Amino acid sequence: MKQLLLAALLLAGADAAQAACDNWGERGALLHRDDFDGPLTGYVSEYARKPRNFIGNRDGRLVIDVDSGATVWLDKPLSGDILIAYNRRVVLDGGPNDRLSDLNHFWMAQDPARSSLFTRSGKFEDYDDLDMYYAGVGGNGNTTTRLRRYGGGQRVLVGERLEPDWMLQPNRDYRVEIAVVGGCTRMRIDGREVFSYRDPQPFTRGYTGFRSTWSRQTIDNLTIHQLK
């Protein structure tokens, strides 16, 4: 019963999000920056190790080239009001894993049952028991764009876009911005708001991770700022 009440409360928060979330602060201290020019350090990669699967830095970009699920976690937790920003591309160029789908992201992730977050194989269902926010842009073969709140074993849908102009285009560099401010969270792509959501029980501390499924993607120009 408590879980059902929480789910109803979260959905009510989603309905009120646009009116409630209108102050996104200003950039303060730079907490993290990565141009992915050298070896990939300071991250934890969870994916199936196979000959055709690769995660690492190549040609000045982080490359996630996999035939199944993968998560690349920044290995230090974040807290408070923050802005995560980076460039991301879904590559279609004849590669064995090339598929236009799943520009995804986890943030403010915590494991309520374990001392370490980094215990998973990369399969999507492995993350069901985390507390976190999750955005999936162009999911399910580029047919859905969704925002979910994970918590208490539930994955509550708090935002959804199904129109074609919210889906992915191949080989395009997107500028992704994810903000967490005063109980609200927001995702923007190329300056356009995809989702904003006021959480009645917000997550204010946790890990951030790049997430994908069966695709080849590249990431560059990552910055994380404190917001003030």
Pairing type for strands 154-161 and 144-151 reads antiparallel
Burial-class residue 26 by CB neighbours within 10 Å (0-12, 13-18, 19+). exposed
Residue 93 has pLDDT above 60, yes or no: yes
Tokens for 35, please give them.
């141009």
CA 74, CA 15: separation in Å to the nearest integer? 31
Q: How far is CA 155 from CA 51, 71, 219, in A?
A: 33, 18, 26
pLDDT tens profile 26-56: 999 999 999 999 999 999 999 999 999 999 9
pLDDT tens profile 56-78: 999 999 999 999 999 999 999 99
Count of CB atoms situated within 10 Å of the CB of 187: 23
CATH class of 2-227: mainly beta
Look up the pTM and report it. Answer: 0.92
Q: Would you place residue 16 in the very low, low, confident or very high pLDDT band (cuts 50, 70, 90)? A: very low
Is residue 141 within 8 A of residue 2, CB to CB? The reply is: no
Query: Which sequence spans correspond to the domains of the chain?
Result: 2-227
DSSP label of 165: G
HSE-up of residue 110 (Cα within 13 Å, Cβ side): 14
Asked whether the CA dihedral 225, 174, 51, 134 is positive or negative, the reply is positive
Is residue 216 within 8 A of residue 65, CB to CB? The reply is: yes
Residue 7 has pLDDT above 60, yes or no: no
CA 221, CA 86: separation in Å to the nearest integer? 5
Is residue 138 within 8 A of residue 168, CB to CB? The reply is: yes
Q: What is the DSSP string of 44-56?
A: EEEE---TT-EEE
Is residue 198 within 8 A of residue 64, CB to CB? The reply is: no
Based on its alpha-carbon atoms, the radius of gyration of the chain, rounded to whole angstroms, reads: 17
What pLDDT is stored for residue 10 in this prediction? Answer: 56
- Rounded to 5 degrees, what are φ and ψ at 102? 65, 60
Count of CB atoms situated within 10 Å of the CB of 121: 13
Residue 153 has pLDDT above 90, yes or no: yes
Alpha helix (H) ranges present in 130-210? 139-142
Tell me what the mean pLDDT of segment 13-24 comes to: 64
pLDDT, the chain, mean: 93
